[in-house]
Chains A and B, each alone.
Chain A
Amino acid sequence: MQADAVVWSQHSYDEVDPGTGDPLNETGLVLRRGFLRAEAHRDAFDAELELDGNTVKGPAARIVTAHVGWGYPDRGEKLVKVDAGLLLIPFGAQVPTNARYRAFVEQPTFLRALFPGDADAGANASGSYGLVRWSVAAMNGTPVADAQWKGRDPVSSYDLMGRVGTDIPLPHRGRFVGGISAVTGTGLHAGTPPTKDQIQWIDENQDGIVQTTELQVIPGRPGQPSQTFHRDALDLDVAAHWCLLGLGHGVVQFEGAIAKNLDRGVVYADPIARSRDVRELGFSLGVVQDFGPYALAGVRYDRYDADRDASETQGVTTVYVHEVFETFAIMAAARFTTARLIVEYDHNTNPFGRDDTGMPTTQRADRVTIRGQVEF
């Protein structure tokens, strides 16, 4: 069970959005995740069902994962493991990691953009042999938090992805873990239905009276069929673990991805609408260190360029703009058996504001979050 309290948000106001009526207050207490997890194992077979109840956007319940699997051999490290159902997407290192094991409150922005919700339906085969780790998966290609399709797959083809990596033990209880992941798939640009001729009234002089010069005919248009487009991504993840005498376990972790037309969560990538491919680039670098058995702390920096070729017209000048999101997170946590209390400060940089020159710039969005987490 995780309960989050955003004790301070720079982007919080005691006001409602006049368009939607939604509150603009972002400082408050929410049940971030309330997990109920059931696992079953028999011989080589296993099954898992994980449910989540939360109040992030009002009371809601959802399936996090639901899958069945088979593995060989029955016990110990699996040479082959096959799972099918609603799975954490086996891409990179952080997406397939369950939220309760993550040190930081939120995923890096580039992973929230490329794999929103972390889970998708499909089948995954994975395994290990010696130092080698591998996985191959066929997924729907619409993660559960896909901003447009909400987890429903609009195309008949599957996204194919795989990871090849290694896990090397080092002296003094150290470890080196690394891997390369790739995904290729197909997205859909939704078409539009045909329209009839219409008359439009634009009240140019705003007198509330219809004048003939204010009437325009909008000719009907034939329907536009939906179009598919290609998308792909390549990811590198590297982590080095150590164990310091008197302090405990520590890890430094880097993960970066270069992608094309794959943003489905932050700045939706639709190359048909933009008439060009949308190229994304993101990475995160973090360090977490235990301080004895009851405390740990960490810092993480992540950066995400949602459109490396973004430009806009300002007056008579076309200028390149940067749709870059950055987060510098500082985390400190206390833990006792299965309980954790995390305090995290996120310094956010985003392109949602405009400076005096009209260029996109940071709109303040820093926040301090406290998370209480208990596992039974």
Chain B
Amino acid sequence: MRWLLVVLAACNGVTGDPGYGSELAIPGAQFRPGPFPSPTGGPATQSFVSTHAAVVIGDVHERVHAVLDPAAHAAIIGLAGVDGAWIVVAGPPDIDTPGQPSATAIIGLDPATEPGPFTLLLAATDGDGRIGAAAALPLVADAEPPPDGDLVVGLVWDSRADLDLHVVDPVGGEAYSGDPNTWKAPPPGTPTDPNEFLGGGWLDHDGNAACHRDGAPSEHVIWTTRTGSNGPVAPIIPAGTYTVRVDTRSLCGDAGAAWYVEVYAHGALVAAARGVSTGEDVITGTHRAGAGVTALTFTQP
């Protein structure tokens, strides 16, 4: 009986698991196994922000910050739909939010994390253990930081497959590996700026081209300021709806290819989508302008 009591007593307390196997890592915080807790009437979270919209997989680098209700003593941070969260003790108020505790953490994602959008949750807790409603922060797990640019559309995948990113702007210009610029030349005879073509969205490279595998295959169409013969050329980003398609040229021997698409405008995440390419996509595709399946559409003002 005594042994039974001791064994039961050993179940008390929190885990000593350092949480290294967890998809989310927060150094210095207490790992909390199990699903993210449901609210039980605890303090609310006033704001929850990160420095970037994307978290580079494998880096423990991204700072997240929350402002909590005055009754908060700690915060629980975790990934939506993923077991394992972290307990962070609340810190002093920020200068601009006196009387309201803050919670700050440096987060990272396990190297095995799949690229793509995810949701970070934060719930404040009070001294009686009541848990507040979780605040959600949409983020994107990136294999690499997105390139700089005013408007960046990215396609990232992890296989040998040769995929192509197609981006169609609101005026019909389409950038893909066969025509890497959305800018369309005006009809012959129309006076034009010889550097105007630099203002279009440019494909940065052809990932896994002809099944020659890149280390971490990706493609981006980028609108950014470029330098022409007469100086800097500002990007021309037409207002309206953009269409992003993924064309599967070849699976290069793989059974399929999981991919995700992300769109950043001035560093902020605008849209993201995830999908899988199959052999059917290879057969049915023309692999020219207009080819591929639509991954997402988004609108620019």
Residues of A within 8 A of B (CB): 10-11, 13, 15, 17-18, 24, 204-206, 312-317, 319, 328, 330, 345, 347, 349, 352-359, 361-366
5 smallest CB-CB distances across A and B, nearest first, come from A315-B101, A362-B13, A358-B74, A315-B90, A354-B30
**Docked CA distance A362–B17 (Å):** 12
A138 to B55, CA, bound (A): 59
Judge if B257 is at the interface, Cβ distance under 8 Å: no
Query: A316 contacts which chain B residues (CB < 8 A)?
Result: 70, 92-93, 99-101
Contact A328 B87 (CB under 8 A): no
Indicate the size class of the contact surface on chain B.
35 or more
B89–A358 touching, CB < 8 Å: yes
- Residue in A205, A316, A345 whose Cβ sees the most chain B Cβ within 10 Å: A316
CA distance A349 to B15 in the complex (A): 12
Given A314-B90, A314-B101, A316-B101, residue A357 in contact with residue B125 (CB < 8 A): yes
Q: A354 and B87: CB pair below 8 A?
A: yes
- CB contact under 8 A between A206 and B73, given known A315-B90, A364-B10, A364-B15: no
Indicate if B12 sits at the interface (CB-CB under 8 A).
yes
**How many Å from the CB of A78 to the closest CB on chain B?**
43
- Residues of B contacting A352 in the complex (Cβ-Cβ under 8 angstroms): 16
Query: Which of B13, B73, B74 has the most A CB atoms < 10 Å from its CB?
Result: B13
In the bound complex, how far is the Cα of B37 from the Cα of A364, in angstroms?
21
0 or 1 for each of B249-274: is its CB under 8 Å from A? (1 = yes): 00000000000000000000000000
B126 within 8 Å of A (CB atoms) = yes
Q: At the interface, yes or no: B129 with Cβ under 8 Å from chain A?
A: yes
Q: Which residues of the other chain, B, contact A361 by a CB distance below 8 angstroms?
A: 13-14
**Interchain CB contact under 8 A, A358 and B6:** no
Residues on B with C-beta less than 8 A from A349 are: 12-13
A227–B93 alpha-carbon span in the complex (Å): 33
CA gap between A318 and B126 in the complex, in Å: 13
The answer, yes or no, to whether B238 is at the interface (CB within 8 Å) is no
Interchain CB contact under 8 A, B51 and A206: yes
B298 in the interface (beta carbon within 8 A): no
* A366 and B10 in contact, given A317-B73, A357-B127, A357-B128 (Cβ under 8 angstroms): yes
| A328 CB contacts on chain B under 8 angstroms | 6, 9
Let me know if A365 and B129 touch, CB within 8 A: no
Interface string of B92-106 (1 = CB under 8 A from A): 110000011110000
User: Bound complex: CA of A313 vs CA of B91, how far in Å?
Assistant: 7
Asked whether A358 and B90 contact (CB < 8 A) given A314-B73, A316-B70, A363-B13, the answer is yes
B14→A357 contact, CB < 8 A: no
> Contacts of A345 on B, CB cut-off 8 Å?
6
Complex contacts, B14 vs chain A, CB 8 Å: 353-355, 361-364
